Amino acid sequence: MRKKYDCIFLDRDGTINLDTGYISRLQDFKFFDFAIEALDMLKILTDNFIIITNQSGVSRGLIFERDLIKINQFIFKKFSKNSLQLLDIYYCIDHPNNVSGRRKPGVDMFVEASKDYNLNLSKCLMIGDSKTDILPAKTLGMESMLVLSGLGEKYKNSFNENEKPDYISKDLLTGAIDLVK
């Protein structure tokens, strides 16, 4: 059976894990209780997941990149242990005052992922809790879902007509349930 999406892109903080600010240590990283269940449901729609995350805490001096890499390794293990195909984690450490096209809402991390994994972005979905997650999806012709966990509640009414996400859900689990109906 053909899957609906080539890949589901996920934001990290506020989407799959509790956003407590700049997460600088592995012991401070906590998946939402529902995250793995939701991702397992989404496997019906795709074989592939990629995390795309801004991590300016590194350039702000709040996070050591080696600790970010440890967190990423933990995420890979958690996905693997639960038979979830996490292709990659793309992160941008740009400071908001000195951004490249990699920092969301820039599209460069998505374009890089599409080249690295031969993905048709118009057949992908982006799930995140911020306007900066939804805008690159719109730019690239991807479907998008805003989750109200994390910062989503703050952003849900900030979109103009052509920026609006395709879906708005309470959280990743509610969104997964709605998508697989």
What is the domain range of residue 33?
A: 7-180
Q: Using CA of residue 20, residue 21, residue 27, residue 32, what is the dihedral sign? A: positive
Residue 88 CB neighbours (<10 A): 18
CATH number of the domain where residue 85 is located = 3.40.50.1000
* Catalytic residue ranges: 11, 13
Walk along the chain (181 residues) and give the pLDDT tens digit of each residue. 568 999 999 999 999 999 999 999 999 999 999 999 999 999 999 999 999 999 999 999 999 999 999 999 999 999 999 999 999 999 999 999 999 999 999 999 999 999 999 999 999 999 999 999 999 999 999 999 999 999 999 999 999 999 999 999 999 999 999 999 8
Query: Is residue 25 included in any domain, yes or no?
Result: yes
Cβ within 8 Å of residue 120, ≥6 positions away? 6, 114
In a domain, 1, yes or no: no
Which residue in the block uniquely carries the two structure tokens 């292709």?
87
- When divided into structural domains, the chain yields a total of 1
pTM of the model: 0.97
What single string gives the DSSP state of each residue in 98-143? Answer: S--TTSTTSSHHHHHHHHHHT--GGGEEEEESSHHHHHHHHHTT-E
Q: Does 2 fall in a domain?
A: no
